[in-house]
Amino acid sequence: MFGVIVMIAKYIGRRVEIIYQGADGRLSQRVVRVLGVRDGVVRAFCEASGAPRTFRVENILACMPARRRSA
């Protein structure tokens, strides 16, 4: 888990694309702006919902820098 925290923490303030498994077991792919990481929880602004969200680090399956937005 520590490796995932470090991986995500380096993107604070940046847009990333994550693949996340929700509490109900469903997979979700989202573009978020990482606001912070603490105690195993990522705080982020979700572009799809237009609202702040929290994600448990252990449920983040993949994370990579988001592609630039189309003009």
What is the structure's pLDDT at 3?
Answer: 63
Q: Report the C-alpha gap between 6 and 27 in whole angstroms.
A: 22
Partnered with residue 50 across adjacent β-strands are none
pLDDT given for residue 7 in this prediction: 75
User: Whole-angstrom Cα distance, residue 60 to residue 68?
Assistant: 21
Q: Which residues contact 69 (CB under 8 A, 6 or more apart)?
A: none
**Full pLDDT tens readout for the chain, 71 residues:** 556 667 788 899 999 999 999 989 999 999 999 999 999 999 999 999 999 999 999 999 999 999 876 55
Domain ranges (residues) in the chain? 2-65
Listed residue (8, 25, 15) closest to 69, CA to CA: 15
CATH topology of domain 2-65: SH3 type barrels. (2.30.30)
- Give the containing element (helix H, strand E) for 4: helix 2-9
